[in-house]
Structure 1
Amino acid sequence: MIKSFFAAKGALDKAIPGFQARQPQIDMAQAVDDAICNKTQLVVEAGTGTGKTFAYLVPALARGKKTIISTGSKNLQEQLFHRDLPLMMRSLGFTGRVSLLKGRSNYLCLDRLSRQMTESHGVHADPTLLSQLIKVRSWSSATKSGDLGECDSVAEDSPVIPMITSTNDNCLGRDCPSFDDCFVVRARRKAMESDVVVVNHHLFLADLAIKETGFGELIPEAEVFIFDEAHQMPDIASQYFGQSLSSRQLQELAKDVEIAYRTEAKDMRQLQKTADRLTQAAFDLRIVLGEPGFRGNWRDAMKAPAVQRELTRLNDALDLTYDVLKLALGRSQLLDAAFERATLLKARLNRLCDTSIPGYSYWFECTPRHFTLHITPLSVAEKFREQMALQKGAWIFTSATLAVDDDFSHFSHRLGLEPKQQFSLESPFDYQQQALLCVPRFLPEPNSFGTADSLVEMLTPLIEANNGRCFFLCTSHQMVRDLAEGFRAKLDLPVLVQGETTKQKLLAEYLERGNALLVATGAFWEGIDVRGQALSCVIIDKLPFTAPDDPLLKARIEDCRLRGGDPFSQVQVPDAVITLKQGVGRLIRDKQDKGVLVICDNRLVTRPYGAVFLRSLPQIPRTRDISRVGQFLSEVNGVDTPVTDDH
C-alpha cells in the first residue's frame, strides 16, 4: 500500500512537480509503516538527501493514527508544520486536524503583559521597554495563536520576552484573570483534539518529566511517536530527568514580588526589601562561580569558602522571601503563586546542596549574567524505557547521524531502546564526484600553542582562491575568537563571526554577501542548510571530542566504568563521530553541490581510532595535498588559479 504513494503517477508524483521516488526513501517508508502497524520501535539513519521527512509523513498520515512528531529545534518544527506537512496533506488528501505546540515560553502571557504595562508607567520606567510593550499589546489584539515568533516587531532575543511569557514556576493556572483567553491553554486544547501534533524534543521531554511526577500533561496520548534529529534525544533527556535551579528563576521570583508590592500590596515595604535581597544574593553567587561559558563540578565548587558564604546568603534570602510571602498569603493571586514558587525553589536548592546521593552528576554552568545548578542522572535509559512501556505504540527514531561505524548501540543503549529494526540508508549523493576530503600535511598538534595562527597562515590562500564561500567550524569559542582575529588581519573578504549577532542574521548576511568566511561553533554544526555553490568549502579545526572536564561527560564516563566498559571507545569516540558527521553534513546538501572538506587534525590518519571516524563518514575521496584541494575548487568554480602548497 505505502509503495503506491511513491510510484510513478502515484499521489506524490501527481502533487509535487518533478518528484522522483528513491528506493531508500521507499524502504524507510515501508519500515515506518510496519512499525506503526505492529506498534514496535524503529531506528533509521537516513543520510542527507534520502527524503526522510516524506518517508515518515506518508505512512503516519496514511494510517490515520494519533501521531506526535518531535523535531530537534523550533526552526525544524516550523519548517515541518508550515511547509512539509501541508504539502503531504494535499498530496494524500489527508483531512485530519494538525497542530503546532511549543513550550510555554513562546506564547504571550496576557496577565504578565498587563502587569508589565502597569509597572512600566512607574517611576523606574524604561522608555525602550515601554515602546516594545506597546507594540506587543497592539499585536496581541490581532493574533490568534499568541506565538511570539510571529510578532515581527520584537526580536527573538529581546529582554522583554521573559517578562511577558510565563514559566511553569510563575503561571497562575486557573487562578489567572486571563485564563479563559490564555494562548498556552488554547494551544494545548487544540493539540488534544488534533490527529497530528508537531512538537520539539525539549517540550516532549519536559512533558515526560512532568508525567513522571504525576502532574497534568502538555502533550496528548498518542499511538505513534516519531523523533526527527533523534541524535539529540539522549542529551536533552538527561536535562529533563534531572533537576536544575537558575539565577534567572530567582530573579524572576524577585521581580514578581516587586511588581506585587508596587501594584497590589503597597503597604508591605518588606516585599521590596526581600526582592532586592534575593536579586543581590543570586547575583553575588553568580560572581563567585567564575567565568561565563564555564561548566564546573558543583560538588567541588561547594567546597570553596566564597561559594559556601554566598550559598548561605542565598539560603537566608530565600528563607526571608518565604517568610514574608507567607505573611502576605491571600492578598493577591500573584503573591500566592510567588509563595508556592519560593517553597519549590527552597526545596530545590536544598536538594542541589545534598551532593551525597549517588547515581547523579552535580554540575553548574555560567553565562555572563546567570548561573544554573544541575543534577543530572548518569543514565536515562531506565526512565525512558519506563515511559515507552506506559505509552504502548510505535516509537520511530530517525536522523542523518545515529550510527558509529554502522553500529547503532551507542544511540539505542543511551535511551534504553530495543528496536525491532535498525538500519542505515545511503545518501543518494555521489560523494566520489561531488566532494574531496583533505587532512593537510604539516598540521600543528591539537591544542598546541599558536594553533590558530598556523591554521590562518595555511588556509588563507585556499579561502581566497575559493572567494570565501566557506564555513570554518570550530570546537571551542576560544578558537572562534582566535581564528576570527587572525583571518580579519589577513583576508580582504568579509569574515562573519558567531556571537556577534543572532544565528539567523549571520546566516542571512553570509548568503547575501556571497563571498564570506563564516567562523562558528556549536549551533552551526547542525541544522543549517546552504545549497549550491554559496558553500563549497567546510573546514573543521579538529575532531570534536567533548572537553574532558565537561561534568556531563565525566558523569557518563563514570557510569561506563561502573558497568565495566571502556569510556574512550564507548562514550568519547562515538560522541565525537556523531558530531563530526553533523559538521560534514553541512557541505553537500543537493545532487548539484560540489565542495571540499578540510579537517585540520592529524589524529584522523595517525591514530587507530581515526579509522572509526573515516568509516563513519560518507565515501569521499581523500588527499593530504592542499594543492589538490585548490585544483578541485578551481574546476568547481571554473577558475584557473590553483592553490599552491607552500609547506
Structure 2
Amino acid sequence: MTDPDDIAALLGADGPFARELPNFAPRAAQQAMARAVAQAIAQRETLVAEAGTGTGKTYAYLVPALLSGERVIVSTGTKALQDQLYFRDLPRVRSVLGARVKTALLKGRANYLCLYRLDQTVREGATFDRAQAAQLAAIRAWSARTRRGDRMELAEVPEESPLWPRVTSTPENCLGAECPFYDDCHVVAARREAQEADLVVVNHHLLFADLALKQEGFGEILPGAAAFVLDEAHQVPELAGQFFSQSVSARQLAELAQDALAECHGVTGAIGTLLEPVEAVQDAVRRLRLALDPLPARGPFRELARQAGAGGALHDLREALAALADALAAQAERSRGLASAHERATALSLRLDRIAEEDAPQDVRWYELFPRGFALHATPLDLAAPLRAMRERTRAAWVHTSATLSVAGSFGHFARQLGLEDPLTLGLDSPFDYARQALCYLPPELPDPAARDYTERVLDAVLPVLEASDGRAFLLFTSHRALRRAAELLRERAPWPLFVQGEAPRHRLLEDFRASGRGVLLGAASFWEGVDVAGEALSVVVIDKLPFAAPDDPVLQARLDALEAAGVNPFMGWQVPSAAIALKQGAGRLIRDVHDRGVLVLCDPRLGTKGYGRLFLASLPPMPRTRALDEVRAFFRPVPAAATVGG
C-alpha cells in the first residue's frame, strides 16, 4: 500500500491501531505527517517535518516506511532512542500492520564485543584491580552466551568502564577478513543482517560515519536505500561537523602505541625494533599536552602557534609519528596485526601533517584540551556543501523530523545549515492543551545575566516556585559553573532531595529523581533534550539563561566571521535561531503527555528587554505567561473536587 491517504487512514479512528492498541488516540497531526512521509518516500523528495511533543511522530514515519516496499534507513539521535525504536516501537507497528518486512538494528563497531581483542586482553594477563578483574570475568562469561554481542545486554559492566575499549574494535585496529575470529564476528553479523534488511535502524553517528567513509571510497555499510528518515534531526548540523572534520587525538595515538606493542607478542624480534619508536611517540604526546597546558580549553590553531614550546612539541610529535610509521613498515608483512598498526600510523601521520600545515580557507583549524589529553581538528567552515553532495549521491528521499526545527514558524535556519534548497516543510502543533496544562513564569526584577550574583538572584526567584510545587523540578543551566554554584546554594536552603549532574550517571539520576516523587534535578546541556519524565514527578522546568552557544567555540566564531563577511548579521542570522531551537528543547521537558501540568520558569530578563526576546517567546508552545508569583501559586493549588465534575 503506498497511497498517502490510505496510509494516513490506518492511524485514524477506524484504523487497526485504534482497534488493537490500548490507549491509542487518533491524532490529525500524526495522520498529516504519515501522509507527507509516504508522499516524500514515493516521490524521492526532501521533507522537513516539525512535530510537536505528543504528535506520535515515530508511528507517523514507521507506518509509511514499512509499507513503502522500499529499503528505508531510520536514524535516531542516540543509542538509547535507537534501542527504544527497535525493541519497543517497531515490533508494535509491525504487529498491527502484519508487515512481513525484514528489519535490523545496526550500531557503531564500538558497541559490539570483539572476540579477538577479548582474547588478546585475557592472554596479556595484565594486572587489573579487583573490580576490573570481575568485569573481565563477566564479559568472558557473557561472550559465551550472547548472540548479538551488543554491550547494551551486559548492564553489570558500566558503560564508562575502561575495559570496553580493550574488548571492542575500532576501524583502525580491526583485522578484517584475516582475523582468526572473523567467522564469529558480531560486527560482521550485524552488518550482514543490515545489508539484507528492508528497514534498518541506525544512529546519526553511524549514518554519518558511513556516508563520510563512502565519500572517501571505502565500502558502504548501509547499502543504497530509497529513503533516509532522520529523527531528532535538530542534532544533525553539529554531528555532521564532527564527521566532515579531520581529527587527531592523544587517545588515538596512545591506543596506536599500546596496540603496536601488543601485536609484537609472538613475532620474534619485533619488540626490539618497535619499543623505542613507540616510546618516542608516547613521550612526544605527553610533552605536547604539557606545552598546551597554559592555553584555554579550546581555541583556534593560531593560539597554539603562539604558545611557547607548543610549536616545537607539535613538530617533534609529527617526527616521532612518521618514524613509528617507518618502523612498522619494516614489520608489516610479519602479521596482520602489525600491518594494521602500520596503516593506522601512516593515516594518522598524514592527517596530523594536514591539520598542522594546511591553512585552507574552507577549514577552521582548532584544538581542544582534556584533563589528560588533547585533540587537533580541521573542520569545514560550511557544512551545507558536503551535506548537499552526500544527499545527491544517494538519490533518495530525505525526511528530517524533530519537535524543534523551526524558529517562530520559519525553517530557514535549519534548511540553511544543511544546504536544503526548497524542501517540503510541515509544521505540526502538539496536541497538548498548553493553555490549560502549562504556565510560563517570567520572574520580574532579575539582573542582567552577566551580573556576578546572577545565579544567587535566580535561586531567590525560583525557591518560592519550588515551595509552591513541593520540588518536582528540573533546573537547567547553560554552564557547569552556574550549575555547581546553584547546587551549593540549594544544599543549604532546599528541603527536597537534590540530584546533581556529574554526581551519578545520567540514567541513575533520572531513575532516582522519578522514584523520589518530589526531587529537584540540576542539569546542564545533556539534560536539555532526550529526557522524558511524564507525570507529577516533574512539574516545573527552570531555565537560567537563554542558551547562546559558548563564545569560546572556535568553529562557531569562524562561521560568524564568515557570515559577517558575506553581509549577514551573525547574531540574528545564526546565534539567535540556534539558541531559540535549544530553548525549545529545554522547554519541551515540561509537558510529556495529555495529563501533565507544569510551570516553565524562564529567568533571562532579555526575553522582555531585547527585541529578539519576542522571537524566542514566539518559538515556544502557546502557553499563558505571567510575571506574578501569585498566579504560579494558584496554578499549583489543588482544584476543589466539585469543580472537576464533568471536566
TM-score range, shorter chain: over 0.9
SS of the residue 1:167 aligns to: coil
Give the stretch that moved more between structures: 589-598 or 355-364.
Answer: 355-364
Match of 1:402, SS state, is: coil
- Opposite residue 423 of structure 1, the aligned amino acid is L
Partner of 2:192: 189
- Asked if residue 82 in structure 1 is aligned to residue 78 in structure 2, the reply is no
What SS is found at the alignment partner of 2:309? helix
CA deviation map 1:264-288 (0-9, x unaligned): 4466334333333323322332333
In structure 2, the partner of 1:10 is: 15
Which of 592, 600, 603 is matched with 2:595 structurally? 592
Aligned-partner SS, 2:359: coil
Which has the higher mean CA deviation after the structures are superposed, 301-310 or 240-249?
301-310
Q: Structure 1, residues 484-510: CA drift from partner, whole Å, max 9, x if none?
A: 111112113222111112111111111
1:355 shift after superposition:
4.5
The offset of 1:319, in angstroms, is 2.6
1:53 and 2:31 matched: no
Does 1:363 find its partner at 2:366? yes
Shift of 1:367: 2.5
Root-mean-square deviation (CA, aligned residues, Å) is 1.8
Q: In the TM superposition, what whole-angstrom CA distance separates every residue of 1:593-647 from its partner, at most 9, and x where no partner exists?
A: 0010111110001100000001111111111122322221234799xxxxxxxxx
Q: Is the 8 A contact 1:464 1:491 kept in 2?
A: no
| CA contact 1:117–1:130 (8 Å) conserved in 2 | no
The superposition leaves residues 432-473 of structure 1 with CA deviations (integer Å, 9 ceiling, x where unpaired) of 111111111121211221222222233223223322211000
Match of 2:255 in 1: 252
Is residue 299 of structure 2 the alignment partner of residue 288 of structure 1? Answer: no
- For 1:108, which of 95, 113, 122 is the aligned residue? 113
**Counterparts of 1:261 and 1:193 in 2: how far apart (Å)?**
38
State the AA in 2 paired with 1:78. D
Cα gap change, 1:263/1:562 in structure 2, threshold over 3 Å: closer, same or farther? farther
Provide the rounded CA distance (Å) in 1 between the counterparts of 2:303 and 2:358. Answer: 10
Report the CA distance between 1:125 and its aligned residue. 4.7
* 1:525 aligned to which of 514, 524, 528: 528
Match of 2:221 in 1: 218
| CA distance in 1: counterparts of 2:358 and 2:634, whole angstroms | 58
Contact 1:45–1:398 (CA under 8 A) maintained in structure 2: yes
The residue correspondences of 1:115-126 to structure 2 (distance < 5 A) are: 115-119=120-124, 121-122=125-126, 124-126=127-129
Tell me by how many angstroms 1:262 deviates: 4.5
Q: Distance in 1 between matches of 2:340 and 2:133?
A: 25
- What displacement does 1:16 show? 0.7
Determine if contact 2:117/2:169 at 8 Å carries over to the other structure. Answer: yes
Conserved 8 A contact 2:519-2:537: no
Unpaired runs of 5+ residues, structure 1, are: 639-647
CA separation of 1:636 and 1:246: change in aligned 2, threshold 3 A: farther
Give the Cα–Cα distance (whole angstroms) in 2 for the partners of residues 264 and 503 of structure 1: 44
Contact 2:359–2:365 (CA<8 Å) still a contact in 1?
A: no
8 Å Cα contact 1:14-1:91 kept in structure 2: no
- Equivalences, count: 636
- Structure 1 residues 617-626 or 306-315, which shifts more? 306-315
Q: Would you say the 8 A contact 2:331–2:338 is kept in 1?
A: yes
Partner SS for 2:427: strand
Among candidates 208, 215, 229, match of residue 205 of structure 1 = 208
Q: Is the 8 A contact 1:38 1:394 kept in 2?
A: yes
- Name the CA distance, whole Å, in 2 between partners of 1:473 and 1:125: 39
1:547 pairs with 2:550: yes
User: Matches of 1:268 and 1:418 in 2, distance apart?
Assistant: 56
Q: SS where residue 268 of structure 1 aligns?
A: helix
SS at match of 2:110: helix
In structure 2, C-alpha distance between the alignment counterparts of 1:487 and 1:83, rounded to whole Å? 38
Are 2:155 and 1:152 equivalent residues in the alignment?
yes
Q: Percent identity?
A: 46
How far apart, CA to CA, are the structure 2 residues paired with 1:636 and 1:527? 31
Residues 543 and 580 in structure 1, CA contact (< 8 A), matched pair in contact too: yes
Corresponding residue to 1:174 among 173, 177, 190: 177
Which of 22, 32, 39 pairs up with 2:44? Answer: 39
Q: Deviations over 1:14-61 (max 9, x none)?
A: 221132211111111111111111111111100001111111111111
CA distance in 2, matches of 1:96, 1:292: 54
CA 1:636 to 1:477, structure 2 compared with 1: closer, same or farther past 3 Å?
farther
Cα gap change, 1:636 to 1:113, in 2 (>3 Å)? farther
- Does structure 2 retain, via aligned residues, the 8 Å contact 1:72–1:201? yes
Residues 564-614 of structure 1 show CA distances to partners (whole Å, capped at 9, x for unaligned) of 211111100000000000000000011110010111110001100000001
For residues 442-461 of structure 1, what are the structure 2 equivalents within 5 Å?
442-461=445-464
Tell me the distance in 2 between the aligned counterparts of 1:534 and 1:126: 39
- Give the one of 549, 572, 590 matched to 2:575: 572
Query: What is the distance in 2 between the residues matched to 1:269 and 1:488?
Result: 58
Q: Is the 8 A contact 1:604 1:610 kept in 2?
A: yes
**Counterpart of 1:539 in 2: which secondary structure?**
strand
- AA in 2 matched with 1:626: L
Instruction: Quickly say closer, same or farther: Cα 1:637–1:366, change in 2 above 3 A.
Output: farther
Which residue of 422, 425, 446 maps to 2:425? 422
C-alpha offsets along residues 301-322 of structure 1, whole Å, 9 cap, x if unaligned? 2221231132123223213322
Distance 1:42 1:637, change over 3 A: farther
Q: What CA distance in whole angstroms lies between the structure 2 residues aligned with 1:3 and 1:500?
A: 46
Which amino acid in the other structure matches residue 581 of structure 1? Answer: K
**More deviation in 58-67 or 553-562?**
553-562
Name the aligned partner's letter for residue 534 of structure 1. A
Secondary structure of the equivalent of 1:65? Answer: coil
Tell me the residue number matched to 2:331: 328
Q: Is the 8 A contact 2:548 2:578 kept in 1?
A: yes
State the one-letter code of the partner of 1:111. Answer: Y
Number of the residue aligned with 1:626: 629
In the superposition, the TM-score normalised over structure 2's length comes to 0.95
Question: SS of 1:534's equivalent?
Answer: coil
Per-residue deviation, 1:548: 1.9
Kept after mapping to 1: 8 A contact 2:292/2:307: no
1:96 to 97, 101, 110: 101
Return the letter of the residue paired with 1:85: L
The correspondence for 2:481, drawn from 478, 482, 486, is 478
Is 1:30 the counterpart of 2:35? The answer is yes
For the Cα contact (< 8 Å) 2:591–2:598, is it kept in 1?
Answer: yes
Asked whether the equivalents of residues 107 and 148 of structure 1 are also in contact (C-alpha less than 8 Å), the reply is yes
SS in 1 for 2:556: helix
1:468 maps to which residue?
Answer: 471
The residue number in structure 2 matching 1:512 is 515
1:559 equivalent to 2:562? Answer: yes
C-alpha distance 507-292 of structure 1, shift in aligned 2 (>3 A) = farther
Question: In 1, Cα distance between the equivalents of 2:24 and 2:381?
Answer: 46
Contact 1:292/1:368 (8 A) holds in 2 = no
Question: Deviation of residue 297 (structure 1)?
Answer: 1.4
8 Å contact from structure 1 (residues 595, 636) kept in 2: no
| Residues in 2 aligned to 1:234 and 1:50: alpha-carbon distance in whole angstroms | 24
**More moved, 195-204 vs 332-341:** 332-341
Paired AA for residue 306 in structure 1: G
2:415 counterpart SS class:
helix
Q: TM-score, normalised by structure 1?
A: 0.95
Q: Determine if contact 2:468/2:632 at 8 Å carries over to the other structure.
A: no
- Displacement, 1:221? 1.1
SS in structure 1 at match of 2:378: strand
- Partner amino acid for 1:65? E
Q: Does the 8 A contact of 2:443 with 2:461 survive in 1?
A: no
Q: Is 1:347 aligned to residue 350 of structure 2?
A: yes
1:312 is aligned to 2:327: no
* CA deviation string 1:508-543 (max 9, x = no partner): 111121221111111110011100111000000100
Does the CA contact (< 8 Å) of 1:32 and 1:59 recur in 2? Answer: yes
Q: Please give the secondary structure, in 1, of the residue aligned with 2:536.
A: helix
Between the aligned partners of 2:107 and 2:295, the Cα distance in structure 1 is 28
**Cα 1:18/1:132, change in 2 over 3 Å:** closer
